[in-house]
C-alpha cells in the first residue's frame, strides 16, 4: 500500500539558517510527490512537485526538494529560513496511475525563531 | 486559494442535523476532492469526483454524501450518521495534471 511518512511533528530553526523538513514514501511504480504549506485556518498552498526529471526540484518562496529514489525520500529544503516560513507543511504522494487519489503525511510544524 | 471558494467559513451543527458544505471552483477543473483534517492526522480523503455525474468514495466516506451535477460545484453533506464530524473540511480541484489546488476550508463544530 502507498504511504507517506513525515517523521518529525515539529522542526525548529533559527532565522537565516537552512531548514529541512523530512518526507519518506512508499509507492508501487513511479512516485508523484508534492509539498504543500498551510497557514492557520487556511487551505493548503502548493509549493512544488516531482514527477520526473531532475532530482532537485525548485518551487515557490525559495523552497526546493530533493528526490532520492534509493532512500525513498523527498525532503523539503530552504537555504535561509524566514520567520514568515513558520507554518504546517505536508508531503503528499499520488497513488498509482489511473486513480488520481493522493495520500498525505501527517504534517510537520515548522517554527522559525527570530 | 484563488479560484476555489468554500462556504461557510464556520458552521455549527446540532446533534442529529444534516449540514451541507459548499465548494465552487471557476478554474474549469475536471476533478474535485473533499478532505477532512484533524489535528495530528493530516488530510483524509472523503470523496472525489473526476467528472460530472460521477464520484467515488474515499477512505472515510461513511456518514457523508456528495453530488456532482455541475462541473464547478461539489457540495458535501455531513449526515447525522457521522458521529464525530467536528473537523476542518477542505475542498480541492485538479485539471488534467497532477497538482491539486485547495479552497480556504470550512470549520465544522458540533454543538
Contact A43 B43 (CB under 8 A): no
In chain B, what residues touch A100 (CB-CB under 8 Å)? 31, 48, 50, 94, 98
Nearest to B42 among A41, A101, A106 (CB): A106
Task: Please tell me the distance from the alpha carbon of residue A53 to that of residue A37, in angstroms, as a whole number.
Answer: 23
The number of residues making up chain B comes to 111
Residue range A98-113, pLDDT digits in tens: 678 899 999 999 999 9
In chain A, what residues touch B104 (CB-CB under 8 Å)? 42-43
Residue range B41-95, pLDDT digits in tens: 889 999 999 999 999 999 999 999 999 999 999 999 999 888 899 999 999 999 8
The C-alpha angle with vertex B4 and arms to B3 and B10, in degrees rounded to 5, equals 140
Task: Please tell me the distance from the alpha carbon of residue B2 to that of residue B10, in angstroms, as a whole number.
Answer: 19
Helix and strand element counts for chain B (H, E):
0, 11
DSSP symbols for B54-106 = EEEE-TT-TTEEE--SBTTB--EEE-TT-S---EEEEEEEE-SSS--EE---E
* pLDDT cut 90: percent of chain A above it: 79
| Chains A, B: CB pairs < 8 Å | 57
Residue range A47-76, pLDDT digits in tens: 999 988 889 999 999 999 999 999 999 999
In chain B, what residues touch A98 (CB-CB under 8 Å)? none
Nearest to A15 by CA among A81, A94, A111: A81
A10 touches chain B (CB under 8 A): no
Amino acid at each position: 500500500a502507498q504511504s507517506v511518512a513525515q517523521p518529525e511533528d515539529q522542526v525548529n530553526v533559527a532565522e537565516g539558517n537552512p531548514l529541512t523538513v523530512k518526507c519518506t514514501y512508499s509507492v508501487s511504480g513511479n512516485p508523484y510527490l508534492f509539498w504543500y504549506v498551510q497557514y492557520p485556518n487556511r487551505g493548503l498552498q502548493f509549493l512544488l512537485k516531482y514527477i520526473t526529471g531532475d532530482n532537485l526540484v525548485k518551487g515557490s518562496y525559495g523552497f526546493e526538494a530533493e528526490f532520492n529514489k534509493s532512500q525513498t525520500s523527498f525532503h523539503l529544503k530552504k537555504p535561509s529560513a524566514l520567520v514568515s516560513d513558520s507554518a504546517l507543511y505536508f508531503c503528499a504522494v499520488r497513488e498509482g496511475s489511473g486513480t488520481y487519489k493522493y495520500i498525505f503525511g501527517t504534517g510537520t510544524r515548522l517554527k522559525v525563531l527570530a | 486559494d484563488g479560484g476555489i471558494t468554500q462556504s461557510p467559513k464556520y458552521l455549527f451543527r446540532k446533534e442529529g442535523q444534516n449540514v451541507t458544505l459548499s465548494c465552487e471552483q471557476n478554474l474549469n477543473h475536471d476533478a474535485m476532492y473533499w478532505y477532512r483534517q484533524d489535528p495530528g492526522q493530516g488530510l483524509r480523503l472523503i470523496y472525489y469526483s473526476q467528472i460530472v455525474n460521477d464520484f467515488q468514495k474515499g477512505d472515510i466516506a461513511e456518514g457523508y454524501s456528495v453530488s456532482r451535477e455541475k462541473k464547478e460545484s461539489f457540495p458535501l453533506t455531513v449526515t447525522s450518521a457521522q458521529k464525530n464530524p467536528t473537523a476542518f473540511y477542505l475542498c480541492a480541484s485538479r485539471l488534467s495534471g497532477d497538482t491539486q489546488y485547495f479552497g480556504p476550508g470550512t470549520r465544522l463544530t458540533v454543538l
